[in-house]
Structures are given as structure tokens and as C-alpha cells.
Amino acid sequence: MPKRVDDNQPQIVDALRKAGASVQSLASLGKGVPDILIGYGQAHMVLCEIKKPGGKLNPLQVTWHEAWKGGEVVVLRSIEDALTLLHTLKGRKT
């Protein structure tokens, strides 16, 4: 059974792609794994959990985020959050 995704996920993914990011859905993995993997620029990859505005991580997601040592995990709640993330990545040195 596929994991349910938040209603705002398609719009956020669309905005990320239009802004030049690659987006891979990870939602079917479940078990607290973030919803998407974003690739941006030459060297940036970020795992992102998508939540509705005001949405909270569930206990599996909290545990997964706390245990993850492989890089950044970001919670996105809006298109503005997603575009701000890309702007931040663009300004980072690789």
C-alpha cells in the first residue's frame, strides 16, 4: 500500500523542478524516511519531508531524523520554503 502524501507535495515538487532541481520521490519507502530527495546544482543533495503548514513529524519520522547521519534533512511546508532552500543551496560553496 503506498504511503499517503500531503496535499501540498505535488505543488512543492513542481515548483522545485521548475526552479531547476531534480526530485526523486521516496514516499513509498515509509518507516520515517523523508518524502523526497532533491538534487540541485553540481553537488547538493537534500532529503526533505513535506508537511502541511503546521504539520508535525510523526514518531517514526522523528526517530529517523534523529538517527540520520548522512547529511541534511529539511522539512518543507510551502513552495516558499522549497524556493528558500534552493536559494540557500545556491549560495553554498561546494
pLDDT tens column, 12-38: 999 999 999 999 999 999 999 999 999
Query: Which residues of the chain are modeled with pLDDT < 50?
Result: 1-2
The pLDDT value given to residue 91: 80
Which residues have CB under 8 Å from 11's CB, separation 6+? Answer: 79
Q: In this structure, which amino acid lies at residue 10?
A: P
- The CATH architecture to which 9-89 belongs is 3-Layer(aba) Sandwich (3.40)
Q: What share of the chain is helix, strand, coil (3-state, %, to 5)?
A: 35, 20, 40
pTM value > 0.95: no
Task: Sketch the domain layout of the chain as residue ranges.
Answer: 9-89
The pLDDT value given to residue 1: 39
Which uninterrupted H or E stretch holds 45? strand 44-50
